[in-house]
Amino acid sequence: MRRAALALLLAPLIALAAAAQPQSGFELMAPETQAMQRDDTANPGMLWVQEGEALWQQSGCAGCHGDAAASMRGAAARYPVYDEARAGPIDLAGRINQCRVERQGAPALALEGEPLLALGSFVAHQSRGLPVAPPADPRLAPARAQGEALFRERRGQLNLSCAQCHDDNAGRRLAGSPIPQGHPNGYPLYRLEWQGMGSLQRRLRNCMAGVRSEPFAYGAPEYIAIETFLMSRAAGLLLETPAVRP
């Protein structure tokens, strides 16, 4: 009886502690999907990582960056970072294209095209297992604030904000599927629903269309602001690229 009363008293505290700790969407997946992500020979995202490694070699990235396993380790855990040229945050895909255009004199790769997804997956994969560690750069604060405002803004014909599902109702079931907290710690990732690889921006567009709102164009600063906010919200979670999600 006393133990039950104690448990009742402690339950809200335990719940609070759990809420303070970000939880990867991985934890909510079916065991088969978790196993698919864990096993590199079964994880379809590894095909993009391998393709990205080939592109890294062919495109001459190694000429400056050397061994990606050393030079790229930690990059995906930090990004988006502040970029002088943009006078704002730049995401990893944006940096890859900036590097191509300005340093290699090569054309930018199409956003969400397979080559950029492959290179992005290869680079992000070098940070797998590292904790999300957004830089404490005060120049990122305006973008982070803008991203949070967008996260909390109700939109679309269904008039829902990201926060209403991914903060207020995370863990509950939307049509039978558990709602994750919405952390960006596995991108680019292989989504079973897509039967393919996609970026965080593609995922954000899915939700925006889901609430019947007009998504921003790929590469829009709004997405990078949202990513900047989401990375600070996910601080400490381990990078999983290439993650697998339902």
Active centre residues (catalytic): 207
Shortest distance, CB of residue 102 to other proteins, whole angstroms?
33
Tally Cβ neighbours within 10 Å of residue 228: 28
> Of 66 and 246, which CB lies nearer to other proteins in the complex structure?
246
List all residues 6 or more positions away from 84 whose beta carbon is below 8 Å from its beta carbon: none
> Of 99 and 160, which CB lies nearer to other proteins in the complex structure?
160
> Of 57 and 177, which CB lies nearer to other proteins in the complex structure?
177
Nearest to 108 by CA among 117, 96, 119, 120: 96
Shortest distance, CB of residue 175 to other proteins, whole angstroms?
5
Tally Cβ neighbours within 10 Å of residue 106: 13
Shortest distance, CB of residue 246 to other proteins, whole angstroms?
12
From CA 231, how far away is CA 200, in angstroms rounded?
A: 11
From CA 240, how far away is CA 121, in angstroms rounded?
A: 10
Tokens 């999300």 found at: 132
Shortest distance, CB of residue 144 to other proteins, whole angstroms?
21
> Of 118 and 162, which CB lies nearer to other proteins in the complex structure?
162
From CA 232, how far away is CA 135, in angstroms rounded?
A: 9
Strand order of the β-sheet with 189-191 is: 196-198, 189-191, 244-245
CA atoms within 13 A on the CB side of 206: 10
Shortest distance, CB of residue 204 to other proteins, whole angstroms?
13
How many residues are there in the chain?
Answer: 246
Query: With contact defined as beta carbons under 8 Å apart, do 89 and 81 qualify?
Result: yes
Instruction: Note the residues at the interface with other proteins (CB under 8 A).
Output: 153-160, 164-165, 168-169, 172-177, 179, 209, 212-215
> Of 135 and 156, which CB lies nearer to other proteins in the complex structure?
156
